[in-house]
A and B are shown apart, each in its own frame.
Chain A
Amino acid sequence: MERRAKQDLKISGSASAGGGSYNNVVISGQGNIDGDFDCADLRISGASKLDGNVEALTVKITGTANITGDFKVNDCKVSGFAQVHGNIKADEMRIEGAAVAGSNVSADWLEIKGGLKVKSECSAENFVSKGAFTVGGLLNSDRITIELYGPCRAKEIGGENITVRKGPGFHFARIVKTILSSFDVDSGLVAESIEGDEIYLEETKAKVVRGNNVMIGEGCEIGLVEYRSKFEQRGNSTVRENKKVRR
């Protein structure tokens, strides 16, 4: 078959297109794409439903995107809203708006300034959050840096370096939250277990923290700390039990 240059696709009114292989795709109205598709560059500023698996080199979502399959991308920025029912796999992903993943997320670089919700596992070489997130399973990353501005939840957290600090607006956010809603006032990090080599925590609730060097800062409630080399506790935090494990 003769190879042709890939076509661009532009949807600016209300329209549907079929899947396939495209060059640049721009959706600014109400656009649907039915079936798996791949493209070089994808920009969504309208409302879109992408029914199938989506693969792209660069993606910018300023509107809303609903992807029913898996989403694979090199470089992705979400400042609108993205809902992905399958897995998300990215080299770099920045979320300034909100994103929901119905399965797993894996990325080299994952940065959250808005909110992210992941149903199962979230893994990244670098995980940076300055927003809010919920991870239903394990949050697994070499370097986890969390600045707390809103509620952060993960069932388990594991990695090498784990740092959790409250952000500059943390107390203000808490007051607003307390006024606005009477439930779920924990605007810090809540996890069942946190395991890493170097751990620093503030405003964190966890049943177990295990690590090599563990430092518990202000506002923490920890059930058990198991450490190998060093344990330190500061400020008004509570640690019910701490144990040194032999190395």
Chain B
Amino acid sequence: MEQISKKELLDLTDISYGQLYRWKRKGLIPEEWFIRKSTFTGQETFFPKEEILARVEKIKNMKDDLSLEDMAEKFSPMPAEVRLSSADLVERKIASQSVLDLFLKGRKEQTSFSFEETFALYTMNNLLQSGALTLEEVESAIKLLTEHYPKSEGRVSELIVVRKLGVAASLLVSTASPVFFDETVKIVYRANLSASVEALKMLL
């Protein structure tokens, strides 16, 4: 994962220290993105480059229309008292009817969905649409996601599905830690979860 120093970030995006610290305070930039490193001049802060540049761009675009609090809600990893009906989900293209049926298989019948469930459905829809995974693999990835993602409070940022010798495994990985696999492992699916939470919120 490529990193960018705070200085470079300020130069590149033309924002001020005041703005950056304000956005951090308001929860617009997650704590995990501030990676502190010791250098010869003391401490320096680095950020995951792709994520922070995308985030700053979004904040700049939204800041004329939304308050910082509203934006924080939009960026928050597990937000919002949301409940959607099954009709809403299909209508807003969050999940297709067949994905919904699959999700509900083996569960109690339900007609309204929390944000967490909606996110699971949305991810399931994406996984199935990618065509890279079997149904069983999708189900086990979704089980992992629903069990651990809400509890991680935004620390987990990536869902990775790998296959080795035909056997699949899914992983949840945190923002600041790179993962390495041996060469016989094939990555079949990789999704940035914070980005997909944001994408999902745009559909709500």
* A140, chain B: closest CB distance, angstroms: 5
Residue in chain A with minimal CB distance to B7: A245
Count of residues in B whose CB is under 8 Å from the partner chain: 15
Q: Determine which of B11, B16, B19, B24 lies in contact with A140 in the assembled complex, contact meaning CB atoms within 8 Å.
A: B24
Q: Determine which of B24, B25, B41 lies in contact with A208 in the assembled complex, contact meaning CB atoms within 8 Å.
A: B41
In the complex, chain B residues whose CB is within 8 Å of the CB of A193: 42-43
Bound CA–CA A224/B11 (angstroms): 19
In the complex, chain B residues whose CB is within 8 Å of the CB of A192: 42-43
Interface segment, one of A20-28, A60-68, A153-161: A153-161
Q: From residue 94 to 117 of chain A, which have CB atoms closer than 8 A to chain B?
A: 106
Q: From residue 156 to 197 of chain A, which have CB atoms closer than 8 A to chain B?
A: 156, 158-161, 192-193, 195-197
Bound CA–CA A235/B18 (angstroms): 27
Q: From residue 14 to 59 of chain B, which have CB atoms closer than 8 A to chain A?
A: 16-22, 24-25, 41-43
Known: A123-B25, A246-B11, A247-B11. A223 touches B17 (CB 8 A): no
Contact, CB under 8 Å: A160 / B41:
no
Known: A223-B41, A224-B41. A212 touches B17 (CB 8 A): yes
In the complex, chain A residues whose CB is within 8 Å of the CB of B19: 160
27 residue pairs A–B, Cβ–Cβ below 8 Å: A125-B25, A140-B21, A140-B24, A140-B25, A141-B21, A142-B22, A158-B21, A159-B17, A159-B18, A159-B21, A160-B16, A160-B17, A160-B18, A160-B21, A160-B22, A161-B18, A193-B43, A195-B21, A196-B18, A197-B16, A207-B43, A208-B41, A212-B16, A223-B41, A223-B42, A224-B41, A246-B11
* Closest A-B pairs by Cβ, 6 of them: A160-B18, A207-B42, A158-B21, A197-B18, A123-B25, A195-B17
